[in-house]
Amino acid sequence: GIQGIQGIQTCLRVAGAAAARPECFLSVQDGLAADFRAMTKTLYDLNKGSNIVRGGPLKELVIENFDEEQIWQQLELQNNAVLDFFKESIARDAKDEDLCLLSDQEEDGSDAETSSDKELEDNIMEAEAEQKNVYTKDKDKTKAKEKQSKLRENIIQKYSDEDSDVDFDIEALEQQAKTAKETTWKKTGRKSVVDDKFFKLSEMEAFLEHAEKENEEEEDDINYFEDIISDDEEEDSEQAKAKPIKSSRDMTYKDFFDPVDDDDDLVANDVEDDEEEEADSAIEEQNEESMSEFEDMNEMVEHMRSKEASKKVTFSLPDDSETEDVTEMQLEKGMDPGEIKSSFEKRQEKMSKRIKSLEEALLEEKPWQLKGEVTGQKRPENSLLEETVLFDHAVRMAPVITEETTFQLEDIIKQRILDEAWDDVVPKEKPKEEAFEYKKRITLDHEKSKLSLAEIYEQEYMKLHQQKTEEEENPEHKEIQEMMDSLFQKLDALCNFHFTPKPPVPEVKIVSNLPAISMEEVAPVAVSDAALLAPEEIKEKNKAGDVKTDAEKTPTDKKREQRRKKLRKRMRRREKEKRQKLLEKMKPEQGIKLSKKAAAAKLKRLAKEGKASLLKDEGKDKALKSSQAFFSQLQDQVKMQIKDASKLKKKQKTEKAFSVQKLKL
């Protein structure tokens, strides 16, 4: 009992002394460390003395020749054992409505007051540890606040461990800072012009007052229920007030600073602070003393306000300039809902709403589209059909034919037609190389070469070097010759009056009429037999076909030939007569000459027909050459006369006979 109180008092004294000179902590203080260790031991033993809570297995804290780490582990053992008990008790007390001492506005009845002092006294570390584990900005706020309140009541036993010194101090500070803030909020609850996310004027005022008070009260008895903010944490408090500080090692940007979005944060903070305010009304009773001091501070602070304003840190955000106005307005918005809002206000409202909705969307579970690999089971049925999916095509897609494409094509076609740039296929000509020419290129000589190798190479060398000169001469000569020829031809044309052009040089093609067989024997491959005369050219072919002898001719052949002969003769005769008549008409003298012949011919014709008879001139006109011939001729003539006469008589007789008969009648 008394021993315990004494022990605690000594501890407080030591701790207070140490805290009063924070600069000492910058260097290693062995004496201070030993003091703190002793303190720890006394407290631990006191705990063990009271049998309210079943703690760890160790009866007392052993610190002689022990490391910090070992001492810590001993403490942990104790803490873990008691943790569960405390959880249960708190839960139990929380449910119990009779025990509610805080105002109805609270979200839940905190039982900070009901838990006994002893319990709280015993296990500060557990509370801290719990707070460490449990405290977050959003969750378990109220629980944390309960712990805070517990801690406040039992104030300080600072652990000696140098490693955990910082931790502990910060944790203590954190709770104290929170309480300080809460108290200030509770009391002042007002926003000033200079407020921003780092700095809250009222907080500062509160802190300053507290510090003043602390300086005054250090000699007196320690007020258990008073906040004590150690000097070296003054700077941190301002910044760290708004944030939960876990441990120096785990601190991140967001522990120091609010999120970038100014307005909402301020709003949120304000809201938070309001909540805190409500939740901790219980503390109000205990801290009434300190409140007055804070109020005094406020006036002081107001003097500093102008300075503060200039030092204030601003982010270059669009709405930055109007943060204070906004906050004020937002504060007032709750107060005057019926008022007409300005356009800016409306905009801001919308923005904040939108931001809220976005935040909610972000916090929600993401849609299946954003979840990475999604199988068919993980998404709704046929959901992929509504999605436009992008993927690489391995095959080139067929072009989509639209009106535009057709127009484009037509334009191209029209332009091509105008340019006459047809895509006609140029017929490829295969370079035809005759086998002969190919063989001519390299003739295979199957005999032993007459030239020796040296001579061959010699010849080649000479050829190489001479070839160049030869080629240079000949083409030039040829060209010159051609040009001269054309020139002279033109000059001749101009000079000569009777210009006779040169006869075109006939192309002489030698056609030898040799029998084909002789040509084929010796001819090289290149010579063709187109140059020879055909047999028909030598002798014309008979229309009938083969030539036949009289014996071979058939009757039809003979008749055919006869007809042709007759026809030819007829034609000839008619032509002759025509010519004769024509001649008589035109030239009568010539007609007379020819009339003798014609008369003779006529006579002959008549004699044949029997119309004219020719007096035979039986040789009288013949010139008598020899006498014998004359006499014989005379004899013959006489004989002939006698024969004739006798023939006449016979004829007369016969004729007379016939008349007698007639007469007898």
Contacting positions for other proteins (CB under 8 A) = 441-442, 444-449, 452-458, 460, 464
Q: Is 352 exposed, middle or buried (0-12, 13-18, 19+ CB in 10 A)?
A: middle
Supply the minimum distance, in Å, between the C-beta of residue 474 and other proteins: 21
Q: Which is nearer to other proteins, 432 or 441 (CB)?
A: 441
Q: Give the separation between CA 169 and CA 240, rounded to whole angstroms.
A: 13
Q: Give min distance, CB of 473 to other proteins, in A.
A: 22
Query: For residue 95, what are the contacts with CB-CB under 8 A and spacing of at least 6?
Result: none
Q: How far is the CB of 449 from other proteins (least distance, A)?
A: 5
Contact 293, 201 (CB under 8 A): no
Interatomic CA distance for residues 87 and 135, integer angstroms: 14
The single-letter DSSP state of residue 321 is G
Reduced to 3 states, what is the DSSP secondary structure of residue 252? coil
The SS3 of residue 108 is coil
Least distance (Å) from other proteins to the CB of residue 461?
A: 9
Q: Least distance (Å) from other proteins to the CB of residue 397?
A: 48
Q: Apex CA 293: angle with CA 292 and CA 294, to 5°?
A: 90
Q: Which is nearer to other proteins, 98 or 445 (CB)?
A: 445
Residue 491 Cβ vs other proteins, minimum distance, rounded to whole Å: 45
- SS3 category, 613: coil
Phi and psi at residue 452, in whole multiples of 5°?
Answer: -80, 170
Query: Which of 349/437 has CB closer to other proteins?
Result: 437
Based on CB atoms, which residue is closest to other proteins, 448 or 625? 448
Beta carbon nearer to other proteins, 64 or 447:
447
Nearer to other proteins, 464 or 657 (CB): 464
Nearer to other proteins (CB atom), residue 393 or residue 432: 432
Judged by beta carbon, residue 303 or residue 450, the one nearer other proteins is 450
Q: Are the beta carbons of 160 and 18 closer than 8 angstroms?
A: no
Burial of residue 536 (number of CB atoms within 10 Å: 0-12, 13-18, 19+): exposed
CB of 445 to other proteins, least distance (A): 5
Q: Minimal distance in Å, beta carbon 440 to other proteins?
A: 11
Let me know: does 37 contact 67? Beta carbons within 8 Å.
Answer: no
Nearest CB to other proteins, comparing residues 454 and 495: 454
Contacts 24+ apart (CB under 8 A), 451-454: none
Q: Which is nearer to other proteins, 30 or 445 (CB)?
A: 445
Find the shortest distance in angstroms from Cβ 521 to other proteins.
26
Cβ-count burial 465-500 (b if 16+ within 10 Å, e if not): eeeeeeeeeeeeeeeeeeeeeeeeeeeeeeeeeeee
Residue matched to tokens 């300075």: 307
Q: Which is nearer to other proteins, 108 or 471 (CB)?
A: 471
Q: What is the CA radius of gyration of the chain?
A: 77
Question: Is there a contact between 449 and 456 (Cβ–Cβ < 8 Å)?
Answer: yes
Residue 421 CB, nearest approach to other proteins (Å): 38
How far apart (Å, rounded) are the C-alpha atoms in residues 198 and 402? 63
**Least gap, CB of 443 to other proteins (angstroms):** 9
Residue 431: CB minimum distance to other proteins, A: 15
**SS3 of residue 260 by DSSP:** coil
Give the closest residue to 176 by CA, choosing from 76, 290, 87.
290
DSSP secondary structure string for all residues of 510-541: ------HHHHHHH--TT--GGGSPPHHHHSPP
In the complex, least distance from residue 462 CB atom to other proteins, rounded to whole angstroms: 13
Q: Which two tokens stand for residue 399?
A: 């072009």
Q: Quote the CA–CA distance of 325 and 323 in Å, as a whole number.
A: 5
Contact 40, 63 (CB under 8 A): yes
Q: Which is nearer to other proteins, 344 or 461 (CB)?
A: 461
Label residue 206 exposed, middle or buried (CB < 10 Å: 0-12, 13-18, 19+).
buried
With a CB cutoff of 8 Å and minimum separation 6, the contacts of 26 are none
Least distance (Å) between residue 476 CB and other proteins = 25
What tokens appear for 608 in the block?
A: 């044949």
Cβ neighbour number for residue 200 with a 10 Å cutoff = 26
Q: Which is nearer to other proteins, 375 or 452 (CB)?
A: 452
Please, which residue, 107 or 437, has the CB nearer to other proteins? 437
The CA-to-CA distance between both ends of the chain, in Å, stands at: 237
